[in-house]
């Protein structure tokens, strides 16, 4: 992709419907009042004006409140907008460093920004309204027109080390779409010249920045500003938006390569949402990419292999987002779809194991995690998840027993049975009895349960008795005709 040509101010106005300097109407008002140039008085308002109300001659006009002299004096005394310690961490030393390099006697008559500008490249079409110096090279192509961008920046005035604005000090990235008039023209031109991962410095002249009137109290009129901007990432949605604007019939005619490009755009946008921890929005974008590819007509095995490669990533990404928002059943479903494509996919097995663990499906969870560990024996995350599974299983077992004891713990005759006292019988039988008694204790409508003695071995009878007594249950035998039964009953609060 070729680099975009710099956008002159006039062209920016034509594209975005903006004017670099919006002071003409205010100038005419000042002239009507008998003032001109620097003689025009200025004051600050408590809150902003709605310009539509001001210009509407049919309405009631606009009400506003002017700051008092005391308010202005207090604002002048407290002119720091960020915490001093935070400012120190972000302090821009670069302009001072640049001044010390190759300085000559002729430079002494130049201001710091003028000295910086000498070594910077014009990117505004020849008038040097916006000049640039790359501090850290980026990778890939220059951001395309209309892309969604994510940047960090600091903005400085001349002779000031404290930024007048800083996304870093606010701990909030700037996110917007290019060519929508979201930022001043100079910043738009600056960001439009950058690559992913790039960090650059820009000097922006007033006619590309805040104009004759500035943005009081932080930015005075006719101020040249310095921006240090880092391009974190951008997403070009033009391909996807063009595809989405087509009719259903036209979409069906799209080639596999076109559909693949659309899917990549949606996936990348989903990745952006994921990085911002907006998992629901990420799921939505991944779903769009999946639907695009699942309906693709494949011409050969090569196209099928390409599609499956992308589908595998999408299913795994969806599963991870499902985990993050607690949608464990959907996570398992997406892992299963990924495993249909690649039965040995470690990520799918690992995430399926995590979801099953959260659903207390401990045996199935362990099976998935052990299979993943067999495929990736050095994976630390899988080892940690197996340890977590073991801890959770032991906690769950203890909780079950504690629940049963609490239900019947106040009853007389409750005995604590040691594991060494339980007679030997098969592990399967012990598990069956444990499960039956847990269900029995939880079922308030079931007062008793019986076991036919003639079908039980001595060890099995003793196992039932010991387990029942340990849960605070009453165990008796009774004759029912020719048959003898072992009866287990819940004790009443008054005793046996």
> What are 403's strand-pairing partners?
none
Is residue 114 helix, strand or coil?
Answer: helix
Q: Which CATH superfamily is domain 419-490 in?
A: R3H-like domain (3.30.1370.50)
Contact 496, 413 (CB under 8 A): yes
Instruction: Tell me the backbone φ, ψ of residue 230, rounded to 5 degrees.
Output: -120, 125
Please state the rounded mean pLDDT for residues 426-436.
Answer: 77
**Where exactly are the structural domains of the chain?**
51-78, 94-236, 246-395, 419-490
As a whole number of angstroms, the distance between CA 121 and CA 126 comes to 10
Is residue 40 helix, strand or coil?
Answer: coil
User: What's the whole-number average pLDDT of the chain?
Assistant: 79
Is it the case that residue 444 has pLDDT exceeding 80? Answer: no
Lateral strand order in the sheet of 473-480: 448-452, 483-490, 473-480
pLDDT digits (tens, 9 = 90+) for 266-324: 998 899 899 889 999 999 999 999 998 887 888 899 999 999 999 999 999 999 999 99
CATH number of 246-395: 1.25.40.10
First to last CA, the chain: 87
Which residues are CB-neighbours of 315 under 8 A, at least 6 positions away?
290, 334, 335, 337, 338, 341, 348
- The per-residue pLDDT for 489 is 86
Domain 94-236, second-level architecture: Roll (3.10)
Neighbours of 226 (CB within 10 A): 22
CA dihedral 281, 282, 284, 287 (to 10 degrees): 180
Q: How confident is the model at residue 104 (pLDDT cuts 50, 70, 90)?
A: low
- The per-residue pLDDT for 55 is 73
pLDDT digits (tens, 9 = 90+) for 244-258: 787 888 888 888 888
Q: How confident is the model at residue 88 (pLDDT cuts 50, 70, 90)?
A: low
**E strand or H helix at 134:** strand 130-136
- The per-residue pLDDT for 388 is 87
- The per-residue pLDDT for 309 is 94
Instruction: Tell me the backbone φ, ψ of residue 287, rounded to 5 degrees.
Output: -65, -40
Q: Which tokens hold the place of 494?
A: 């008054």
- 479 burial class (0-12, 13-18, 19+ CB within 10 angstroms)? exposed
As a whole number of angstroms, the distance between CA 430 and CA 249 comes to 63
Residues belonging to the chain: 496
């Amino acid at each position: 992709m070729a680099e975009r040509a710099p956008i002159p101010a006039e062209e920016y106005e034509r594209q975005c419907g903006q004017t670099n300097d919006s002071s003409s109407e205010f100038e005419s008002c000042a002239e009507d009042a008998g003032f001109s140039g620097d003689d025009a008085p200025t004051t600050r308002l408590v809150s902003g004006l709605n310009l539509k109300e001001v210009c509407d001659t049919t309405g009631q006009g606009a009400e506003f409140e002017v700051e008092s002299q005391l308010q202005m004096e207090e604002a002048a005394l407290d002119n720091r907008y960020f915490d001093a310690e935070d400012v120190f961490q972000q302090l821009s030393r670069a302009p001072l460093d640049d001044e010390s390099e190759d300085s000559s006697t002729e430079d002494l008559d130049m201001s710091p920004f003028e000295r910086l500008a000498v070594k910077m490249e014009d990117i505004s079409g020849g008038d040097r309204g916006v000049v640039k110096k790359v501090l850290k090279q980026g990778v890939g192509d220059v951001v395309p027109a209309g892309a969604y961008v994510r940047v960090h920046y600091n903005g400085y005035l001349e002779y000031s080390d404290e930024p007048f604005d800083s996304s870093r000090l606010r701990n909030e990235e700037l996110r917007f779409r290019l060519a929508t008039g979201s930022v001043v023209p100079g910043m738009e031109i600056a960001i439009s010249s950058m690559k992913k991962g790039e960090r650059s410095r820009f000097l922006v002249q007033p006619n590309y920045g805040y104009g004759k009137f500035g943005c009081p109290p932080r930015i005075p009129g006719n101020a040249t500003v310095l921006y240090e901007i880092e391009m974190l990432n951008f997403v070009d949605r033009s391909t996807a938006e063009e595809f989405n604007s087509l009719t259903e019939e036209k979409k069906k005619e799209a080639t596999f390569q076109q559909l693949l490009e659309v899917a990549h755009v949606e996936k990348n946008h989903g990745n952006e949402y994921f990085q911002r921890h907006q998992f629901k929005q990420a799921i939505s974008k991944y779903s769009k990419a999946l639907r695009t590819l699942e309906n693709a007509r494949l011409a050969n095995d090569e196209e099928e292999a390409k599609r499956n490669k992308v589908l595998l990533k999408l299913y795994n990404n969806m599963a991870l987002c499902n985990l993050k928002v607690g949608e464990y059943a959907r996570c398992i479903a997406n892992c299963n779809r990924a495993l249909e494509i690649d039965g040995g996919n470690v990520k799918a097995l690992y995430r399926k194991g995590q979801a099953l663990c959260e659903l207390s499906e401990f045996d199935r969870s362990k099976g998935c995690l052990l299979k993943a560990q067999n495929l990736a024996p050095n994976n630390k995350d899988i080892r940690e998840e197996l340890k977590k599974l073991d801890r959770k299983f032991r906690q769950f077992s203890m909780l079950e027993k504690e629940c049963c004891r609490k239900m019947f713990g106040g009853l007389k005759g409750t005995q604590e049975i040691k594991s060494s006292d339980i007679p030997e019988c098969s592990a399967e039988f012990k598990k069956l009895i444990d499960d039956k008694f847990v269900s029995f204790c939880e079922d308030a409508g079931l007062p008793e349960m019986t076991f036919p003695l003639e079908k039980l071995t001595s060890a099995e009878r003793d196992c039932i008795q010991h387990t029942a007594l340990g849960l605070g249950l009453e165990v008796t035998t009774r004759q029912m005709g020719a048959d003898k039964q072992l009866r287990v009953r819940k004790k009443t609060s008054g005793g046996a």
